[in-house]
Amino acid sequence: MTVDWLLSASWTLHLITNIRINIADGGVKAAATTSALAQHYGGGKGLQPDQPRLLAGALYYADLVKDEESGLWKIEAFKMTTSWAEGDWGVMSAN
């Protein structure tokens, strides 16, 4: 699978809210959680009326580590758990 295929397969909007960050280990590690709402349409069809779509709610979990050299936080691990979904899962594929 290439990125071009992934981008053409669906149009997606993820809305992120309720961001919580817990900094630990002397300020060099952190854990983040967020709530997400994602709306998916088939590629190029998001503005067309009556198109199949998928709406899903999820929780995102990330382990973060602070880069000593740059001082930037980097994602070390990421997990997504879908809490609910409604609509057509077929919009997630190119078929």
We find that the CATH architecture of domain 3-92 is Roll (3.10)
Pinpoint the alpha helices (H) of 1-95. 3-9
Question: pTM (2 decimals)?
Answer: 0.77
For 28-40, what is the mean pLDDT?
Answer: 96
Pairwise CA distance, residues 16 & 21, whole Å = 14
Domain boundaries along the sequence of the chain: 3-92
Instruction: Kindly indicate the confidence band of residue 2, based on its pLDDT and cuts at 50, 70 and 90.
Output: very low
Per residue in 42-81, pLDDT (tens digit) is 877 777 888 899 999 999 999 999 999 999 999 999 999 9
In 3D space, the residue among 25, 29, 14 whose CA is nearest the CA of residue 60 turns out to be 14
